[in-house]
Amino acid sequence: MSESREYIDGPRAEFAAAVERMKEELAVCRQARSEADLAARHFQAIFDECPLSLWEVDVSAVKERFKALRQSGVQDFRSFFDNHREEVTRCARLARIVDMNKASLDMFGAMSKDQLYEVGRVYAGPTWQAFKNTLATHAQGGTLGDLETMYRDLQGSTRHILLQWSEIPDQREDRVLVSILDITERKRVEQAVQRAKEEWEFTFDAVPDLVAIIDNDYRICRANKAMAARLGMTAQEVVGRFCHDLVHGSDRPPDYCPHLAYLKDGLEHTREVLEERLGGHYMVTVSPVYDSEGGLIGSVHVARDVTETKKSEQEREALIRDLQISKEELERLSLTDGLTGVFNRRYLEAGLEGEWRRAGRENCPLSLVMLDIDFFKLYNDTYGHPAGDECLRRVALVVNDALRRPGDFVARYGGEEFVCVLPRTDSTGAMEVAEILRTRVSDLNIAHSSSPVLDCVTISLGLATVAPGANASIQGLIAAADGALYAAKRAGRNRSRAASERPPNF
């Protein structure tokens, strides 16, 4: 009997112990599931609040298609996609967007995720070639790296974006996380810097004078084409050579070297020197170059050949004035309006002051033409401020191109107003210039459906002229041109008007 009892109680005890173990394992599972749910909620919160645009894409169906293609004999997917565009489209449509965060809505201007899902379904990839290459890389088992490309948001604006692809290991399906960084502003700045660099390079090499940048050890860091050609070398061959070796054929700079004087006091020096290796007399100007912390790091040498003009002191003084004008011209390049590219108001004030003094010295007239885009506010209201900015740029460009004489210049006065300064120009000549400007702007044929004047952008112009005398001021000249501009507006716009009363003579 006792043996039977033991036969029954033994399994019961084992069963009870197994039940206890199951309860413990169930508790552990529940705890793990709770922790997993909490982690998932935390991940989702981080995903949603991330300031970077994130898209989670299910690519399991794409991988199945890749598998089927490989089984059919396709091995080189990049070559295959190059010749089967429709297959790329099919693979692209197999990708399913699983989720996207709030930053994606803001970046692409969507009101809801459903709206953005539609964009994802319709738009196969960032760009066709880039997306094709990404699919091919993924199919070949390669690492999904960074991709810089372009996109259009829901408002139709083009954006430069940087995509970073990474796979998300998942027990249920294969997924890819796509992070999108808007680099539109960075690209704009890079392009602006590149344009500025190209313009500087063009200007540097286009200068007919011999120009070189020299460090404090007398080594040439850069030389323009004119300098290299005069030395019988290429610009690349000149770099790194000692200037006194190339120019003077000596192992040290001569005592009259302006660069030597610059190193002593850090100031600009101009000297007339005889450069036998360069074949004549040169007026050499050495200007200091500073680093971002204000330290002297070298100088810019500008050498102008004055051999033929050294016959008289008068010619020599004229050349010195030309050098000063060239220096002022280089400074003027930095005083431009950021939107339109023409000179800004700061330069207008300085340039007009200089021309005012010149007119008094040379006993010649000075004219001012002030112009305003007609109904520009209506243009902005109709087409938007980006279009308004482009309109300003185009008007400024055509006005600047029309001023062909040396000394003439245009500056943005404010808003849609521009001022043209015309030295040595009487009122008749100024009116001719004004009419040329008015006609050329109208010929641009920029649509302006809201204008009561014409169906294209037009300008109104006012001009004023001063002649030698004793009682005049720059402010009076500006006021006269401004009054003439408003007279043109009152007369119906799209016309030019001269000041009804000339300002007092100098």
Report the topology of domain 189-328.
Beta-Lactamase (3.30.450)
Give the containing element (helix H, strand E) for 410: strand 409-414
Cα separation values, 261 from 205, 245, 296, 306, 474, Å: 26, 18, 13, 21, 40
| Count of residues making up the chain | 506
pLDDT band at 140 (very low <50, low <70, confident <90, very high): low
Give tens-digit pLDDT for 71-99: 888 877 777 777 776 776 667 667 777 77
In the predicted structure, residue 65 carries a pLDDT above the cut 70:
yes
> Which carries the bigger pLDDT value, residue 63 or residue 396?
396
Among 432, 454, 452, which Cα is nearest to 443's?
454
- Overall CATH class of domain 50-182: alpha beta
Question: What residue segments make up the domains of the chain, in order of their start?
Answer: 1-49, 50-182, 189-328, 337-498
- Overall CATH class of domain 337-498: alpha beta
pLDDT of residue 302: 83
CA distance 233 to 107: 53
- CB within 8 Å of 157: residues ≥ 6 apart: none
Q: Is 254 left (phi over 0), alpha (psi -120 to 50) or beta?
A: beta
The DSSP annotation for 129-144 comes to HHHHHHHHHHHTT---
Q: State the average pLDDT for the chain.
A: 79
> Model pTM greater than 0.75?
no
Helix axes 60-71, 128-139, angle to 10 degrees: 70
- CB within 8 Å of 136: residues ≥ 6 apart: 77, 78, 80, 81
In the predicted structure, residue 385 carries a pLDDT above the cut 60:
yes
Percent of the chain surpassing pLDDT 70: 77
For residues 82 and 30, the answer to whether their CB atoms sit within 8 Å is: no
Question: 189-328 with 337-498: one CATH topology?
Answer: no
pLDDT band at 55 (very low <50, low <70, confident <90, very high): confident
Task: State the average pLDDT over residues 159-185.
Answer: 73
In the predicted structure, residue 6 carries a pLDDT above the cut 60:
no
Give tens-digit pLDDT for 302-343: 877 777 776 666 555 755 676 576 566 666 556 888 899 899
Give tens-digit pLDDT for 421-443: 999 999 999 999 999 999 999 99
Phi, psi of 451 (to 5 degrees): -75, 130
C-alpha triplet 192, 195, 200: angle, nearest 5°? 125
pLDDT of residue 83: 76
Give tens-digit pLDDT for 222-239: 888 888 777 888 878 888
Which is it for the CA torsion 305, 307, 308, 313, positive or negative?
A: positive
CA distance 221 to 261: 19
pLDDT of residue 124: 41
Helix axes 376-383, 385-402, angle to 10 degrees: 130
- CB within 8 Å of 339: residues ≥ 6 apart: 389, 392, 393, 412
Cα separation values, 62 from 54, 58, 65, 147, 180, Å: 20, 8, 5, 20, 21
